[in-house]
Amino acid sequence: MRPGQAVLEVGCGEGGNLVNLLAAGAARPRMIVGVDLFERKLSFARAEGVAGHFVCGDALALPFRDRVFDAILCRDVLHHVEQPERVMAELRRVCKAGGTAWVIEPNGRNPLIWGLARLRPHERGQLRNSVASITALGTRWFPHVEVEVRQPLPIYRLALHYQFGFPRLGSFRPCQATLDALDRAFRVLWPLRAWAYIVARLRTSAD
């Protein structure tokens, strides 16, 4: 985020991503907007004092004019909708000329992501995600697409998961050291196509 920019998060939930972005030390943009389908999540964000304007709306039909935002974040949204191409079309529509949209999705080719998706029916959409599918989806709507992968295996997510793991282990240093060592090992051994998270940087052409 840069000064003077208008920033949008699609599927902002309770505002956690916006809090983290602002805490990272980046300069405050001119405008921050979060949109989510669930008003109760937006109410929580407002009550917690999260910076920004919060709007209840559908990612399939964003309630904004064309070419409004310089930077857009859409994280963990596409796998929850039946028509992700409509979300991508909306991101393109509201993105300014020369703007950037960031799309972050779990990779269904990762075995832990695959297992969690099988256990949780509302996450089954993750199974259709792959580097190839996200690349193809982005290329359909944006002229400039860069895709990378992050984190070989989400071992922290699994080991400390509030439902399936043991979250209390996170407070023990030996446990943290073991998880860090495993993460470093998997970064060397694990094939890139099966890393856990797909990050797509989608840019429009400047007029």
pLDDT at res. 25: 61
Percent of the chain exceeding pLDDT 70 equals 91
47 and 117 share a domain? yes
Q: Taking CA 137 as the corner, what is the angle to CA 132 and CA 142, rounded to the nearest 5 degrees?
A: 120
104 and 173 share a domain? no
Most confident of 1-15, 24-38, 47-61: 47-61
Residue 129 sits in a domain whose CATH number is 3.40.50.150
Mean of all residue pLDDT scores within the chain: 90
122 and 172 share a domain? no
Q: Is 32 inside a domain boundary?
A: yes
pLDDT at res. 119: 87
Residues of the domain holding 176: 154-189
Q: Rounded mean pLDDT of 16-20?
A: 90
Q: Is 167 inside a domain boundary?
A: yes
What is the pTM assigned to this prediction? 0.89
Burial of 14 (0-12, 13-18, 19+ CB in 10 A): buried
pLDDT digit string, tens, across residues 90-100: 999 999 999 99
- Give the separation between CA 42 and CA 56, rounded to whole angstroms: 7
pLDDT digit string, tens, across residues 142-173: 999 999 999 988 776 677 666 666 777 767 78
Q: HEC string of the chain?
A: CCCCCEEEEECCCCCHHHHHHHHCCCCCCCEEEEEECCHHHHHHHHHCCCCCEEEECECCECCCCCCCEEEEEEECCHHHCCCHHHHHHHHHHHEEEEEEEEEEEECCCCHHHHHHHHHCHHHHHHHHCCHHHHHHHHHHHCCEEEEEEECCCCHHHHHCCCCCCCHHHHHCHHHHHHHHHHHHHHHHHCCHHHCCEEEEEEECCCC
pLDDT at res. 162: 61
120 and 176 share a domain? no
State how many domains the chain has: 2
Q: Is the pLDDT of residue 103 over 70?
A: yes
Distances from the Cα of 84 to the Cαs of 27, 72, 159, 193, in angstroms?
Answer: 31, 16, 30, 21
